[in-house]
Amino acid sequence: MNRRPSSILVLVTLMALSACAPYDRTAIAAERATHDWLAPEHARYVNADPTLDEPAKATRLRSLQAWGDRIAAQEQAAGIAPAGARQ
């Protein structure tokens, strides 16, 4: 009795259905607010930290940029105005 194919089919089906789930606008807004509050402060800290070499600083700053880019992509997919366009 081999259950592996049916288990894989169930997993693939659940993954496909979760990809179709609507965006949680409240969660996206909360993530944006957290980013906008934390990212500038963390960037200042990274740039001022004398124990970090330039590659380490660049990696940390790229991570902050990627975080912001991911949020922007979620905002766009959910039809939320970009951060700069809000009043």
Counting other chains too, the contacts that 24-28 makes at CB distance below 8 Å and 24 or more residues apart are 25/78, 25/80, 28/71, 28/74, 28/75, 28/78, 28/80
Give the pLDDT confidence score for residue 9 in this predicted structure. 63
**Residue 75: how many other CB atoms lie within 10 Å:** 20
Give the pLDDT confidence score for residue 21 in this predicted structure. 58
Give the pLDDT confidence score for residue 45 in this predicted structure. 96
pTM for this entry? 0.70
Give the pLDDT confidence score for residue 87 in this predicted structure. 44
**Which residues, given as ranges, of the chain have pLDDT below 50?**
1, 87
Structure tokens at 49: 């930290």
Give the pLDDT confidence score for residue 60 in this predicted structure. 96
| Residue in the structure block whose two tokens are 């700053």 | 61
